[in-house]
Amino acid sequence: MSLQLERTDVLIIGSGLAAVTVALHVPDTYRVLLVTKGCVTEANSDLAQGGMASAYLEPTSETHIRDTLAASKWTAQLERVRLLAEAGREAIQEMEQFGVVFDREDEQYALGREGAHSTSRIFHVGGDETGRHIMATLRDRLPGHVHVMEHVLIDRLLEHDGRVVGATGFTREARLQIEAGAVVLATGGIGGLLDWTSNCRTVTGDGLVLAQRVGAALKNITDLQFHPTLLASGTPELVTEALRGAGATLVDEAGRHVMAHHPLGSLAPRDDVAAVLTAHRGHVYLETSQVARMTERFPKLTATCQARQIDLALIPVRPGLHFQMGGIAVDEDGRTSVDGLYAVGEVADTGVHGKNRLASNSLLECWVFGKRVASALELKHGISDADGGTAYDVTDEVFQSFRRQIGKWLTISPAIDEIRSFLENTHQLTRTKHVTRQLAEQTLQLEAARLLALAFLELEGLDEQDVTARTAHGVFA
């Protein structure tokens, strides 16, 4: 395989809103290379439906701050939340300056409402296709000094003198080595490790693994959010919480309101709703008779339901993996604990979400912290001797069986026995120096799952040494 060499000032890994926000705000004297594993549109940001929260039209950001803290059960960091909500007041106008057109009704912003928000403050575009529209507009505005490469798998970060100075990877044809003055990880969370997720399948925890391998600190990676309402018929897909904000209620097969006991009803915080729905025996539906102008406000959902012959009045839903609150530990400007390495978006733990993210705060986080990262970047070039590295020597069949095993423990109540067994089985894998793109990609996924599994074990006061051969059982089971 041939070797392709690239040199840039800033390497951004990822193509969602966090990556694009950094790219849009980096000084134009810098050369920027933005690489992404699939097509640029294969990012969770493109799938965002409900919208972006902002206190733009409120007298202050205090209520947004309080709602964010309350949804997190007071586990989010006040100062970071304040920073998010305050800067978030400017975000709407700033995005408009880049050409984003938020939905309006009678010349006023058409604001949505979602769980645990005490008021309507969700700005959206194209009804429930906010992410797709925002991303198309902003990507179109990427300036000439930003070069984009699709289908690039980054498998290792390069180091020199304790600093990250680039990365290695694969294009579809060649081995790739990139020298960079600074590297920004914007690779998203880990949802794609599971089939039952609202996430893009390409979002599989690569950034966590890349960062951890160079010694960057990770935080709270077991803090995962399950969205209560993925479409329960056919391929899982998000059914936006904004539908409940518009009047839909969660009902059981007999039409009883399943969140009736909660003071906020169907608009209770996500973790509460997801827990109730997971424990519920039998099917749950979104009953939409109270939703006005359903097809106009939720065109994506309407089209999906029609294509799948689902009754729009009673939409079957069930919870699924949606968001990782924890991630790479960063300061308020996205600096990780390793020089030259920055992280932003879902891969980073900025402290703004605590143990349960408030709905529609994630696009806002990408914008606010993406801008901060772009201003904080410090460049320093260095040459690192890249060796080829190693990868797990797994056949596709074995890899697929590991994915199935991950699906058994990565649930709303992680199954410790399955975790132990997964760790034991993966611990026994051998490694090869003949690293192909496919092996590198599978290795990143298995290592991301191992990081999570170990973190769950640690919550139980255990570590990998406590996992003995006796716990292993057939990975092909």
359 binds ligand SIN (CB under 6 A): yes
Q: In the chain, helix, strand, coil percent, each to 5? A: 35, 20, 45
- Among 304, 362, 405, 442, interactor with ligand SIN by CB under 6 A: 362
Segment near ligand SIN (CB under 6 A); pick from 141-149, 182-190, 238-246, 312-320: 238-246
- Identity of the residue, 273 or 377, whose beta carbon is nearer to ligand SIN in the bound complex: 273
356 binds ligand SIN (CB under 6 A): no
288 binds ligand SIN (CB under 6 A): no
129 binds ligand SIN (CB under 6 A): no
266 binds ligand SIN (CB under 6 A): no
The CA distance from 165 to 167, in Å, is: 7
Q: Determine which helix (DSSP H) or strand (DSSP E) holds 243, and give its type and residue range.
A: helix 242-245
- Identity of the residue, 41 or 199, whose beta carbon is nearer to ligand SIN in the bound complex: 199
Q: Determine which helix (DSSP H) or strand (DSSP E) holds 242, and give its type and residue range.
A: helix 242-245
- Identity of the residue, 171 or 304, whose beta carbon is nearer to ligand SIN in the bound complex: 304
Q: What region does 412 belong to: left with phi over 0, alpha with psi -120 to 50, or beta?
A: alpha
Q: Where are the beta strands (DSSP E) in 236-356?
A: 249-252, 284-287, 314-324, 327-329, 341-343, 348-349
Segment near ligand SIN (CB under 6 A); pick from 134-142, 233-241, 393-401, 415-423: 233-241
The CA distance from 61 to 53, in Å, is: 11
Segment near ligand SIN (CB under 6 A); pick from 87-95, 189-197, 354-362, 424-432: 354-362
- Among 360, 384, 425, 443, interactor with ligand SIN by CB under 6 A: 360
- Among 218, 242, 317, 453, interactor with ligand SIN by CB under 6 A: 242
Segment near ligand SIN (CB under 6 A); pick from 33-41, 325-333, 355-363, 383-391: 355-363
Nearest to 340 by CA among 443, 429, 215: 215
H-only helix segments in 106-205: 130-140
Question: Which residue do the tokens 């067994």 mark?
Answer: 421
- Among 49, 54, 77, 442, interactor with ligand SIN by CB under 6 A: 49
- Among 68, 177, 204, 240, interactor with ligand SIN by CB under 6 A: 240
H-only helix segments in 380-436: 396-409, 416-427
319 binds ligand SIN (CB under 6 A): no
Q: How near is the Cβ of 238 to ligand SIN at its closest, in Å?
A: 6
50 binds ligand SIN (CB under 6 A): yes
Q: How near is the Cβ of 325 to ligand SIN at its closest, in Å?
A: 11
111 binds ligand SIN (CB under 6 A): no
CB of 324 closer than 8 Å to CB of 189: yes
- The residues with which 167 forms a beta bridge, in sequence order, are 157, 178
CB of 158 closer than 8 Å to CB of 315: no
Number of residues this chain uses to bind ligand SIN (CB under 6 A): 9
Report the residue number whose CB is nearest to ligand SIN. 50
CB of 44 closer than 8 Å to CB of 346: yes
68 binds ligand SIN (CB under 6 A): no
- Residue 152 CA from chain centroid, whole number: 19
Of these residues, 139, 270, 335, 372, which one is catalytic? Answer: 270
The CA distance from 53 to 95, in Å, is: 13
- Identity of the residue, 118 or 400, whose beta carbon is nearer to ligand SIN in the bound complex: 118
Task: Report in angstroms the alpha-carbon separations of 462 from 316, 412, 449, 459.
Answer: 39, 20, 17, 7
Cβ neighbours around 375 below 10 Å, total: 12
394 binds ligand SIN (CB under 6 A): no
Q: How near is the Cβ of 240 to ligand SIN at its closest, in Å?
A: 3
44 binds ligand SIN (CB under 6 A): no
The CA distance from 285 to 113, in Å, is: 19
199 binds ligand SIN (CB under 6 A): no
- Identity of the residue, 43 or 165, whose beta carbon is nearer to ligand SIN in the bound complex: 43
Q: How near is the Cβ of 94 to ligand SIN at its closest, in Å?
A: 19
241 binds ligand SIN (CB under 6 A): yes
**Strands 175-185 and 163-170, bridge-based pairing:** antiparallel
270 is catalytic: yes
Active site residues: 270
Using CB under 6 A as the criterion, which residues of the chain lie in contact with ligand SIN when the complex forms?
Answer: 49-50, 238, 240-242, 359-360, 362
